[in-house]
Amino acid sequence: MARLRLGILISGRGSNMRALIDACSKGLIDADIRLVLSNESSAEGLAHARSSGVTTSTVSHRDFADRAAFDAALHRELKRAGVDFVCLAGFMRLLTPGFIDKWRDRMINIHPSLLPAFPGLHTHRRALAAGVKLSGCTVHFVRAETDTGPIIAQAAVPVLPDDNEENLAARVLIAEHRLYPLALRLIAQGRVHMEGERAVIRAPYPASAALLNPPD
């Protein structure tokens, strides 16, 4: 399988971007990060990417009349950098169906819940209100509906009796930083394939085992 040429989309601090950069720099993922792209020139993650030797660029959504024009500019910037696979890492813009179709099965996202539970915003608040005993995070292929798409990997964390949004979010974030590189590594190894709208992991990872709390 050809080495992945990655583009990472961020809007803020890019902590999951940092985890991916670190894993790629250590040779844990067979991929080259061609571009970190943000819609915010002030995004903290851009400085970290540049300090790691990664090319960065900004396409501000404020410069475009509508979402379609903005997404077309994003697409051009990614193609100009030679990107063939996209990772969303805290990118806070809704993407149009046209853009998503262009990157179908070549764009993934990480969400801080065990999807399909609690899609969208305020996930930790909603998890606490629902009284769930496990929360976690999910890496999935992107589809037009928010936080849907074939699930690649999940990790669970306990919800403790005295949790609030902040400490639950911090515990889930630790799991995110382990899970996102794992999922991308499986994709880069050619071990993720689609069966309809299911993402299936090929051996040598045990096909019957859940990708739950994966080892480092």
Catalytic (active-site) positions? 111
In terms of C-beta density within 10 A (0-12 exposed, 13-18 middle, 19 or more buried), how is residue 72 classed? middle
- The two three-digit tokens of residue 120, written as one number: 């969208």
- β-strand 107-111 against 31-38: which pairing, if any? unpaired
- β-strand 4-10 against 85-88: which pairing, if any? parallel
Q: Distance between CA atoms of 4 and 204, rounded to whole angstroms?
A: 20
56 bridge partner residues: 36
Q: Which residue has the tokens 């929360």?
A: 135
Which distant-in-sequence residues (6+ apart) come within 8 Å of 61 by Cβ?
39, 67, 70, 93
| Cβ atoms within 10 Å of 7's Cβ, excluding its own | 26
